[in-house]
Chains A and B, each alone.
Chain A
Amino acid sequence: MPKKIFSKSKISFFVVIAVILLLIFFNFKGWLGIPKNIIYQASSPFLKSFQWLSVKTAAGVKIFTSIKDLMVENSDLKQENQKLWQENSDLKEAARENQDLRQRLALGQIQGRVFILAKIVGFNPELGQYFLIDKGKSEGVSEGLAVVTADNFLIGKVVEAEQHNAKVLLISDSDSIVNALTQDGRVSGIVKGTTGLGLDMEMIPINKEIKTGETVLTSGRNDNFPAGLIVGKISDIILKETDIFQKAAIQPAANFSELESVFVIK
């Protein structure tokens, strides 16, 4: 009896498996660009509508469940704080850059960057944290480009670009690695994603001093991220006597779950 039941669906089971494996192979070869674009174009109106709806609903629920005035005030203060943080960071960077330039007695050319505004149309917070954005190759987005918020807070990088959409790997993903340095001490390390939406700064030399609350920036060394983007703040320092490197927990500058639009830096 059991044999009979299994044999009825055996062929279709293996046919489907074969088709899926074929799909994986086609994707590996890069032959699925057109179907991907068709699916994206077809689902784009739904994605945009639901994204808009979920953002509005989330905002409505948030206000409803909080004390209204305090919530608004808190939000304003947070925005102001982020703005000041950004300005402060820019000023510090400008001062340091100025100092470097004076030391060298020459003016370095600051590389011109193009910011491509993209809307987040989908998010997958499960294993592998990706945003789906509504800009792709036709708008100049390509793999490896850095993605930031309007405040220059680093979000991640483009890992796959199709014609009209792209996938962005968040810096909080365990697969993400960003070369970074602390703003005041100029101590280098690498920022990696941890469990959840957290970040860790690793490979910090044991003899270097880092402080809680210090801002962490991208160093721009050996990766595609431009230097000076804000990654976050050091929230905790993990120092073990037996280790040759120290580690720091980073509070990300951007709130990944509340983003609506981002900028791709070209």
Chain B
Amino acid sequence: MKIVLIIFTSLIIVSLQLTVLARLSLFNVAPNLILALSIAWAIYQKDQKHSWLILIPAVLFDLLIGRPLGLITLAIWLTFSFVSWLGKFLFKQSGFIPVMVLSLSGVVFYELIYAGLIRSAQFFNLNGAKILWTDFYLFAPRAILYNCILCLIAFWLIKKALPAFNKLK
């Protein structure tokens, strides 16, 4: 039941990302719901048992529009692991400030790692998105701000929705 619900929710998240959220782009930067959820999940989770669940929407998104395929998933997974690690070492208490700092760190990490992966893919001649550092410096601050806000909303949503989800068999 849980896995069906997760796949169904993931399909909705991916569809939202490609349609509604793409239209909410400000100055050509769209909010990244998948990233926000993965960071929020990394901050919220108390154990590592279900960490792989975050890969489902990322893989689906990659299969639909990722070019080169796999880099979004890889960047999301590295970001998720980084935020989990940071949360365990640096922020043991949960409060608004630690959540905000973790969200910001996660989003910054994702922007850097994704840009780095795209550059590496270019180096290996994998067809797909290309990045110019001039564009990156222009868009990254906007993306960081936009996604950081979304992370906080996602964290609040997970906090509210997870107890109900855990009651399911």
Contacts and interface: CB of A to CB of B under 8 A. Distances in A.
Majority SS at the chain B contact face: helix
A197 B18 contact: no
Contacts of A40: 63-64
Contacts of A195: 134-135, 138-139
B85 interface: yes
A132 B65 contact: yes
A114 to B, nearest CB: 26
Contacts of B25: 125, 257
Contacts of A17: 74, 77
A39 B13 CA distance: 13
A51 B18 CA distance: 8
A16 B55 contact: yes
Nearest to A55: B23
Contact of A20 (B11, B77, B115, B134): B77
A127 B73 contact: no
Contacts of B30: 124-126
Contact of A128 (B11, B27, B130): B130
A43 B67 contact: no
A27 B68 contact: yes
Nearest to B20: A54
B131 interface: yes
A122 B20 contact: no
Contacts of A54: 19-20, 22-23
Nearest to A24: B70
Contact of A121 (B18, B69, B85): B18
Interface string B112-146: 00110010000000111111101110110001000
Contacts of A20: 70, 73-74, 77
Nearest to B74: A20
Interface in B3-44: 11-12, 14-16, 18-20, 22-23, 25, 27-30, 32
Interface of B: 11-12, 14-16, 18-20, 22-23, 25, 27-30, 32, 48, 51-52, 55, 59-60, 62-65, 67-71, 73-74, 77, 81, 84-85, 88-89, 114-115, 118, 126-132, 134-136, 138-139, 143
17 contacts: A5-B85, A20-B77, A24-B70, A42-B11, A43-B11, A46-B15, A53-B19, A121-B19, A122-B15, A124-B22, A127-B114, A127-B129, A127-B136, A128-B118, A128-B128, A167-B65, A174-B132
